[in-house]
Chain A
Amino acid sequence: MKRDISARFTRSLRNNLVLVGIIALIVVTAIIEPKFISSANLTNVMRQLWPLPFIALGMTFVIIGGFIDLSVVGMISLSGVVAASLINPLGQVGAILSGILLGGMMGYLNGFVLTTVGAMIQAEVLFITFGMSSIYTAIALLLTNAETLRIARSTKPYNIFTALGSGTVGMIPVVLIVFLVILVIMHLFYKKTLAGRSISLMGGNKEAAFLTGYNVKRSMRLVYTISGIMSGMGAVSLVSRVTTATATSGIGYETNAILCVVVGGTSLKGGKGSVIRTMLGVLLVVLLGNCMNLLGLSTFMQTVMRGAVLVIAIWLDNRREL
């Protein structure tokens, strides 16, 4: 009996390593640096998150579907640039919508290219989306000539951007509220709808899903479109937060997003995963950065830590399945 309880405890511990990690991180940091648990820092962390949660959310769907998306770099860059530059001609609502729409279109294009050429395994998909990313970034560079666009320069109002970037309701940033709404919608989409289910069916076993009448190619285009839309939203939140847009602003988000998804416990083998857990992954990754900054760890050590966390997380995830 006692053995049973302790076995169950270790199992649940092992299944919830992220939570354990987060708690350990909070406790340790709070002891060393009490400022960590100050309200100022909490607000701080809530602000620093963006746009990673959006990107990781989109990436979760791609990974649950059994694929991977490296083109978020290009999509964020291009969407951000377009959104920022369209404030003047279209007004801010138009700009935001076109940024998101463009993201969706790029995502769909990725899915379209992949299904057309029949790239069905992760490695093929990896390089093709990498190439697509270069294309999107190049277009963003051509559009801006590498110049930084500032939304403060627009002649039209841009208060929605400001609200998204730094507005708060009470203590809670506006963008967090917006995101939570989207998160709930996406969670419900994943859990409740047929389309959501067919994504994980595809990730679990493409052949079985195909033989049971699911349109695998459509699901594939869908996950990439979701990733594109989320990149578009992420780009808008990024532009709002920093009030500028450049053609290279998406750099690094692909690895960070994958890191969050994997640390959150969604298996790279596809089929199973959880949108909510990814958010825990985001939290862990962002907290880690925040803690290391507060503890005065050098930028270099932070890179080491991030790599180590990624390697160890995947390793543990893999062992769990053995």
Chain B
Amino acid sequence: TSTPAEAPAGDKQAPAGEEQGGTDADADKPADKDGEVKVAFITQSLSNASQAYAWTQFQKYADDYGFTVTVFEEDYDAQNGVAAIGTCIAQGYTAICINPTDPSAMIPSFMEAQEAGIIVGMYSSEVPEGNEKYRDFMCGTDDYMAGEVAAQTLMEEFPDGVKVVQVGGQSGHSAQIKRNDGFVDTIKDTNITLLDSKDCGAWASEDAMAIMEDFIVAYGDEIQAVYCHWDVGATGCIEALKNAGMDDVYVIGVDGCSVGYDQVIEGTQALSIGQSFSQMTQDAFDNITKIMKGEDFDEVVWTKLDIVTKDTVNDFPYPEW
């Protein structure tokens, strides 16, 4: 039997007082352990297809960068994320890429991780304003932007104003909250009227469908557009509209997954706002490499959102998830 492996890198080398990882001083640090660079991907939930796909991207690019990658799942419970970061510290990980259920809840853990010399990267999500110092970088698109894009598209598409309903994701989840806030903040003082807005109990298309059906009863033909927080939920909305014989409603979904693409191609969904996880992952890996080498890096790397409509759908590779 083996004796326990060497004590975690962070544990040994991080005296309590040390401040802030990710600077030049730490450059040599992670590589010391038989050259293995361990990167953790901490995600809200692997039951969520987008996150499961993002994880495949981590695995795909890990070899190119010489990383070993592991995934941790929060299962939509921030406590699990905190526990995962603890494990990463114990195991001496080099870097963490995290897409947390609740970013603000992670700040204390980020402090610890940095104390232990671990590179902390936000992935597809940003920390609350004013807390930027607790993470080393952020890659991807924030869900808030998805909401903004949805609102902007509506403004372009309906310059004379439009009546829209919003079908939210699971109540209380960061994606739902940000996609909502981005949208609501942007349409303020515009000629877009938000007729009604409701969240789901879970990320379940039947929930979205039920809400949409009730919207149809309540508002009927007034509804000109639907903003649904995720493409699979949009499927439910589309089914509800189909059943009600309302074919000309402008449906917006977020995710850019294959379901969304299909619907855009079929013409039932007008717009899917996609995120390129492969790009995001590469950006994150680039940043980690740069930080390890002590090179300059961009603290925030925005990944462009894919605006997938019938006209642009062929510009993007068909998503693998």
In the complex they form, whether A and B have CB atoms below 8 Å apart is answered with yes
On chain A, the residues within 8 Å of B242 by CB distance are 166
A299 to B171 CA separation, bound complex (whole angstroms):
8
Complex partner residue of B214 from A38, A44, A145, CB under 8 angstroms: A44
Sample of 9 more A-B contacts, CB < 8 Å, known A252-B202, A252-B204:
A44-B217, A146-B51, A152-B262, A241-B239, A244-B205, A244-B259, A293-B214, A299-B168, A299-B200
Take A44-B216, A238-B206, A290-B214 as given contacts and tell me if A146 and B47 are in contact as well, using a CB distance cutoff of 8 Å: yes
Q: Say yes or no for B198: interface residue by CB 8 A criterion.
A: yes
On chain B, the residues within 8 Å of A315 by CB distance are none
Q: Say yes or no for B232: interface residue by CB 8 A criterion.
A: yes
A141 to B242 CA separation, bound complex (whole angstroms):
30
**Would A150 and B259 count as touching, CB distance under 8 A?**
yes
Q: Say yes or no for A310: interface residue by CB 8 A criterion.
A: no
On chain A, the residues within 8 Å of B202 by CB distance are 248, 251-252
Closest residue of chain A to B255, judged by CB? Answer: A148
On chain A, the residues within 8 Å of B258 by CB distance are 150
Q: Say yes or no for A35: interface residue by CB 8 A criterion.
A: yes
Question: When A and B form their complex, which 9 residue pairs have the shortest distance between CB atoms, in order from nearest?
Answer: A293-B214, A146-B52, A242-B205, A41-B217, A299-B199, A147-B49, A248-B47, A148-B232, A48-B210
Q: Say yes or no for A247: interface residue by CB 8 A criterion.
A: yes
Output the least CB separation between B246 and chain A (Å): 11
Take A241-B206, A247-B47, A299-B199 as given contacts and tell me if A148 and B257 are in contact as well, using a CB distance cutoff of 8 Å: yes
Q: Say yes or no for B218: interface residue by CB 8 A criterion.
A: yes
Q: Can you list 12 A-B contacts (CB < 8 A)? A: A38-B217, A48-B210, A48-B214, A141-B46, A148-B232, A150-B258, A152-B262, A244-B205, A247-B47, A293-B198, A293-B210, A303-B201
A251 to B47 CA separation, bound complex (whole angstroms):
12
> Which range holds the interface residue count of chain A?
35 or more
- The 8 A CB mask of B210-248 against A (1 = contact, 0 = none) is 110111111010000000000010011001001110000
**Would A146 and B214 count as touching, CB distance under 8 A?**
no
Q: Say yes or no for A88: interface residue by CB 8 A criterion.
A: no
A248 to B52 CA separation, bound complex (whole angstroms):
13
Closest residue of chain B to A242, judged by CB? Answer: B205
On chain A, the residues within 8 Å of B316 by CB distance are none
**Would B218 and A293 count as touching, CB distance under 8 A?**
yes
Complex partner residue of B235 from A35, A242, A247, A248, CB under 8 angstroms: A242
Output the least CB separation between B63 and chain A (Å): 20
Output the least CB separation between A188 and chain B (Å): 29
On chain A, the residues within 8 Å of B46 by CB distance are 141, 146
**Would A246 and B49 count as touching, CB distance under 8 A?**
yes
On chain B, the residues within 8 Å of A41 by CB distance are 217
**Would A300 and B171 count as touching, CB distance under 8 A?**
yes
A14 to B82 CA separation, bound complex (whole angstroms):
50
Q: Say yes or no for B321: interface residue by CB 8 A criterion.
A: yes
On chain B, the residues within 8 Å of A133 by CB distance are none
Q: Say yes or no for A47: interface residue by CB 8 A criterion.
A: yes
Closest residue of chain B to A289, judged by CB? Answer: B210
Closest residue of chain B to A145, judged by CB? Answer: B52
**Would B243 and A166 count as touching, CB distance under 8 A?**
yes
On chain A, the residues within 8 Å of B209 by CB distance are 48, 241-242
**Would B218 and A150 count as touching, CB distance under 8 A?**
no
